[in-house]
Amino acid sequence: MSDDSTPTPASHWPRVQLHIVTGKGGTGKSTVAAALALALASKGKHVLLCEVEGRQGIAQLFDVPPLPYEERRIAQGPGDGGDVYALAIDAESAMLEYLALYYRLGNRTGRALDRFGVIDFATTIAPGLRDVLLTGKLYEAVERNSRNKNARVYDAVVLDAPPTGRIAQFLNVNGEFGDLARVGMVKGQTERVMGLLKSRRTAVHLVTVLEDMPVQETVDGISDLRAHGMRVGGVVVNMTRPKSLDDQAREAALSGALPRDAIEADLQKVGIDVTPELVDGLVEEARAHAERRALEDEQRRRIDALDVPTYELQRLADGIDLGGLYELAAELREQGMA
């Protein structure tokens, strides 16, 4: 964990207000989104952390009760420090809010729509409408300003976004839905949302682990995003193996050339009961580790070739709890992501 004497580099993304965090399932994108929100807040910012997939992942990470469609404070720094609010956006609530806001539809019409199953229907099947509503709510949170009385204003919004395979489609709301709705009021709205998503105020970060498929999806995701004119942020390489062995030792481990006698002597020196099985076991663990690290290095080279800023988070042996989240947040801040 960092302390206050650790120098904090300037953020690579000083003007970004909307951080979109995506990644393949199982790579830890929700964890990284939460850690990024904490890292930004630790610099005194007011941050909104959003999720859109109805998984209640934020509540689980922070160990708080399930989040409603309402901004709730879930973390606050000491003194006048920053804070993190959280919001679980669902399309149905966003649609009702949207109708009330833009069309001044009273509760009665809203209820009628609901009664006829229109809300459910519209948000599940109308091509891309669901995504329009979800990104529309994000847009509202980012563009919110002091003109809105009583509205909380955020310095940054972090989104725990849909997975990499779906991200370009999710963000390209103007494409799919805009094509369908050539007229209608939603058209204007989607254009404004696209304006924000394609601007320098938005960055899409991709989370991966150093395995073949997630890295492949990251590579594909980046070219997809670029093809749609979105700005790619950084790549967060998550859950890397510990680096306890240097290159030479790993090479020796792979070729079976670790100095068993020296290892045995070292172990005896510090009072460990040395058995042949123990040395065998340690050497075998080292070999498996070196083999995995070699695969990781191969994948890391593919990531380096992407030529985007990368951040690396080591796998925590004890898993992710609140303390672990703080640790990852400090790590991201020190590496300049926040």
Partner 1 sequence: MSKTARFGPLAARLGECPELDVDALIDDPGTHVIVCTGSGGVGKTTTSAALALRAAERGRHVVVLTIDPARRLAQSMGIEKLDNVPRPVPGVDGAQGGSLDAMMLDMKRTFDEVVESQANPDKAAAILGNPFYVTLSSSFAGTQEYMAMEKLGQLRQDARKTGRWDLIIVDTPPARSALDFLDAPERLSGFLDGRFIRLLLAPAKGPARLMTAGFGAVTNTMAKIVGAQVLKDLQMFVAAFDTLFGGFRNRAQQTYQLLQTKETAFLVVAAPEADALREAAYFVERLDADDMPLAGLVVNRATSALDGLSAEQALAAAERLQSGRDAATTAGLLRLHADRMRRVARESKMRERFQAAHPHVPTVVVPALSTDVHDLDGLRTVGDLLAG
**15-28 b/e with 16+ CB inside 10 Å = b?**
ebbbbbbbbbeebb
Q: How far is the CB of 169 from partner 1 (least distance, A)?
A: 7
Per CB under 8 A, which of residues 176..195 are in contact with partner 1?
176, 180-187
Binding-site string for partner 1 from residue 39 to residue 68, where x marks contact by CB under 8 A and - marks none: --------------xxx----x--------
Per CB under 8 A, which of residues 309..328 are in contact with partner 1?
317-319
Binding-site string for partner 1 from residue 253 to residue 292, where x marks contact by CB under 8 A and - marks none: -----xx--xx--xx-xxxx--x-xx-xxxxxxxxxx-xx
Q: Kindly tell me which of 97 and 155 has the beta carbon lying closer to partner 1.
A: 97
Element (H, E) at 280: helix 276-304
Q: Kindly tell me which of 112 and 153 has the beta carbon lying closer to partner 1.
A: 112
Q: Kindly tell me which of 181 and 338 has the beta carbon lying closer to partner 1.
A: 181
Q: Find the binder of partner 1 among 32, 42, 87, 128 (CB under 8 A).
A: 128
Q: How far is the CB of 177 from partner 1 (least distance, A)?
A: 9
Q: Find the binder of partner 1 among 136, 163, 221, 234 (CB under 8 A).
A: 163
Q: Find the binder of partner 1 among 244, 256, 261, 276 (CB under 8 A).
A: 244
Q: Kindly tell me which of 82 and 162 has the beta carbon lying closer to partner 1.
A: 162
Q: How far is the CB of 242 from partner 1 (least distance, A)?
A: 5
Q: What is the CA radius of gyration of the chain?
A: 24
Q: Find the binder of partner 1 among 100, 126, 306, 308 (CB under 8 A).
A: 126
Q: How far is the CB of 17 from partner 1 (least distance, A)?
A: 27
Contact criterion met (CB below 8 Å) for 123 and 92: yes
| Contacting range for partner 1; rule: CB under 8 A; set: 43-51, 140-148, 221-229, 243-251 | 243-251
Q: Position 284: which residue type?
A: E
Residue 192, token pair as written in the block: 């404004």
In the sheet with 156-160, reading across from the earlier edge strand, the strands are 72-76, 83-88, 46-51, 156-160, 18-23, 202-208, 232-240, 310-314
CA distance 297 to 210: 8
Strand partners, 85: 48, 73
The SS3 assignment for 159 reads: strand
CA distance 236 to 239: 10
Sign of CA dihedral 134, 135, 137, 138: positive
Q: Find the binder of partner 1 among 59, 64, 100, 118 (CB under 8 A).
A: 118
Q: Find the binder of partner 1 among 100, 122, 306, 308 (CB under 8 A).
A: 122
Give burial (CB, 10 Å; 0-12/13-18/19+) of 307.
exposed
Measuring CA to CA, which residue among 265, 24, 221, 51 is closest to residue 138? 51
User: Site for partner 1 (CB under 8 A): how many residues?
Assistant: 78
Q: Does the protein bind partner 1 through residue 301 (CB under 8 A)?
A: no
Residue 3, token pair as written in the block: 């302390």
CA distance 225 to 210: 21
Per CB under 8 A, which of residues 191..230 are in contact with partner 1?
211-213, 216
Q: Position 31: which residue type?
A: T
Q: Kindly tell me which of 155 and 296 has the beta carbon lying closer to partner 1.
A: 296
Per CB under 8 A, which of residues 7..26 are in contact with partner 1?
24-26
Contact criterion met (CB below 8 Å) for 208 and 234: no
Q: How far is the CB of 178 from partner 1 (least distance, A)?
A: 11
